[in-house]
Amino acid sequence: MTLYQRPDEHIFAEGARPGEVQPFPDLSRGWGVAFEQTGGIPPMEWFNFIGKRADEAIRYLMQRGLPEWSNTEEYPEGSYIQHGGKTYRAKVANQGKVPSTGLAEWEEWGLTREALDAHFHPKDGELAWPKITKTPTTLDGYGITDAAPIANPTFTGQPTAPTPSAQDRSTRIATTASTWATLLSLFTGPDRQSFQGNGFQKLPGGLILQWGFTSTHGNGMSNVIFPVKFSTKCLAIHGTHLGTGCATVIEYVGTRTNIGATLRTLDENAMTRAGWGLHWFAIGH
């Protein structure tokens, strides 16, 4: 494809002296009019007019880029013009239809930045959504095809979400971090467990495990005080003698409560003594 260089801005016969440029008498007839008016020889003045007219038309298009709308021009579909400081495109072939009012024949084209701002950013960068027509109503309409559906979404990869607190009991989405924190909170914390010599562990559902160490008095009795109170009931308590000989630890009947119990330690001869050590374990809720 041949690319042509831009011509200069000079106009043929623009500097002609008075009388050297005369309007062509019949543009639609062409040079044939010379046989009727000048003996078949067109004068210089007509040539100057024709050359000047052609150069002025070129300069007109070079300056404006798009021609101005003309009431007498026949515009085919798809042609472009300017009118009233705006540009328009012909939707259908037409003639004499003012672009600014002939909405069936013309559509505004090539909006300026100022016009775009007026439509979409009226003030402080805010979007004027009410002025936008034919907006999409689905994600597909915006060209988004990989979004998860609102109902029963399926996520891929490693999506993240805000992490609720361990005490959150709402219907928010639980993350692995919040789930782990919630599980730990069911077992850990000063009100849930203590791993001292006399300690306890509260389990989900209300079950409580307690343990400790004590020693016997002169009659073989040992008063056990639980580290925490069983909210409802102590289900059972068991003791293990700490020593080198045979001994049996029994729960003294009628002494078990929610806060403690009495144990008694007897040797193989059913004898008791003070100072025997024993470990105990209790379970309840």
pLDDT the model gives residue 126? 61
Q: Looking at the domain assignment, is residue 228 inside a domain?
A: yes
Mean pLDDT of all residues in the chain? Answer: 89
Q: With residue 260 as reference, give the H or E element that holds it.
A: strand 260-267
Assess whether pLDDT exceeds 80 at residue 182.
Answer: no
Q: Looking at the domain assignment, is residue 35 inside a domain?
A: yes
Q: Are residues 215 and 280 in the same domain?
A: yes
Q: Are residues 205 and 279 in the same domain?
A: yes
pLDDT digits (tens, 9 = 90+) for 25-38: 999 999 999 999 99
Contacts of residue 130, Cβ cutoff 8 Å, sequence gap at least 6: none
Q: Which amino acid is at 232?
A: T
CATH code of the domain in which 198 resides: 2.60.40.3940
pLDDT digits (tens, 9 = 90+) for 224-261: 999 999 999 999 999 999 988 889 999 999 999 999 99
Q: Looking at the domain assignment, is residue 58 inside a domain?
A: yes
pLDDT the model gives residue 152? 80
Integer Cα distance of 193 and 208 in angstroms: 9
Q: Looking at the domain assignment, is residue 133 inside a domain?
A: no
Q: Are residues 26 and 79 in the same domain?
A: no
- Domain span at residue 14? 1-64
pLDDT the model gives residue 165? 82
Q: Are residues 80 and 17 in the same domain?
A: no
Residue whose C-alpha is closest to residue 106's, from 131, 79, 132: 79
pLDDT digits (tens, 9 = 90+) for 183-205: 777 777 788 899 999 999 999 99
Q: Are residues 79 and 36 in the same domain?
A: no
pTM, two decimals, is 0.43
Name the maximum alpha-carbon separation found in the chain. Answer: 161
Integer Cα distance of 99 and 76 in angstroms: 14
Q: Looking at the domain assignment, is residue 257 inside a domain?
A: yes
- Residue 22: CB atoms within 10 A of its CB come to 13
Decide: helix, strand or coil at residue 282. strand
Q: CB-based burial of residue 196 (10 Å sphere; 0-12 exposed, 13-18 middle, 19+ buried)?
A: exposed
Q: Are residues 256 and 208 in the same domain?
A: yes
Q: Are residues 46 and 82 in the same domain?
A: no
What is the average pLDDT across 43-61? 95
pLDDT digits (tens, 9 = 90+) for 95-139: 999 999 999 999 999 878 887 777 666 566 566 666 667 778 888
Q: Are residues 270 and 236 in the same domain?
A: yes
Q: Are residues 36 and 100 in the same domain?
A: no
Q: Are residues 205 and 257 in the same domain?
A: yes
Q: Are residues 263 and 199 in the same domain?
A: yes
Q: Looking at the domain assignment, is residue 169 inside a domain?
A: no
Residue whose C-alpha is closest to residue 252's, from 282, 222, 209, 215: 222
Structure-token pair, residue 20? 């050297």
Q: Are residues 200 and 274 in the same domain?
A: yes
Q: Looking at the domain assignment, is residue 175 inside a domain?
A: no
Count of domains forming the chain = 3
